[in-house]
Structure 1
Amino acid sequence: MNTLKSLTDLIGAQALGDHLTAAVQDLIDREQIDRADAYQRITDAADAGAPAVLAATRQMWVRRDDVDPEEAPARQLYVLERTHTGVFVTFVDIDQAADDTDDGEHANVVPELLPYNDHSLGAELPVEVLEMYRLEAWEPFELLLPTVGGIDNVRPQGERKS
């Protein structure tokens, strides 16, 4: 369970547990299977690093070293949103070879994605695309809560404690 350990170190046990529990419930709802079987399938897939289970909003994925840049010209993808059909990502870092021009025959990005090769727009891609990448960073929404990170006082400035 090296991947699960790494994920726990990356985002914490509570956030990972919440994420996996949501995936378990989704699997139960879709396939009408036993909860124990669903937990086993989801944790096995997560431990194997399966993007179908792991992909979530606010993640950075980095192209694996064994992937040809021709197949995946973006070195890094930031997941803006996980959708029911895939992931909506921004291209964080396009290889220079793919970025010689933003369009035309010299661009290394597949033609249907050329409009997104300006580093500021995103594209909706199938979640399977993330299989060419590895999860590098994850900022789950739980980390934005005022109780995380030692923030003691979240009242607006000037408001007094009653």
Structure 2
Amino acid sequence: MIHDSDASPLFALCALARVSLGAAAVSIATVHDEGLRYVAADGAGADEIVGTILPPGAGIGGFVAATGQSLSVRDPVSDPRFARDVGERTGYVPNAIQCVAVHDVDGDVAAVLSILDRGSPTPTGGHGATRVIDLVVDLAEALIGAVDDDEIDLEGRLAALGPNERLRATDVVTAVLDAFEP
């Protein structure tokens, strides 16, 4: 599938986040007046979710966009906020979903990062994965123009990671930055 060249770094970020986190799928949806617009994804149902627009507040991602509160749901099918019809339409209904708010410089939610059925590939388990997610969110903010470059301390975040986590995160950062080069 050929993607819009402006969104290609976001597709690369989704792919790298999915692999780094051992997830079935990762997507990024930007916040608009008409709701959440899925602009990039990788993994199960990726081709089907891109271009989908959820009305404001719809789905777990819509809840995160409306409240700014990141959320992990282990059994989304039983959660009344879950947009099951969207999962069925994409051909993938997750067993777990984590949605993380991506903020702009004013602190408003600019996008939502969704991670479906995340594994635990990092040696330190969830704690290391949380650090990787934080780094992915920082990169997403930069890629969608949500924050100024001066406000992202990627070097400081990488330095705070343990050796194994730093190696995994450095690989993600390097691959995303390589995607910008012609």
TM-score, length basis structure 1: 0.29
Which one has a bigger Cα radius of gyration?
A: 1
Structure with the largest fraction of helix: 2
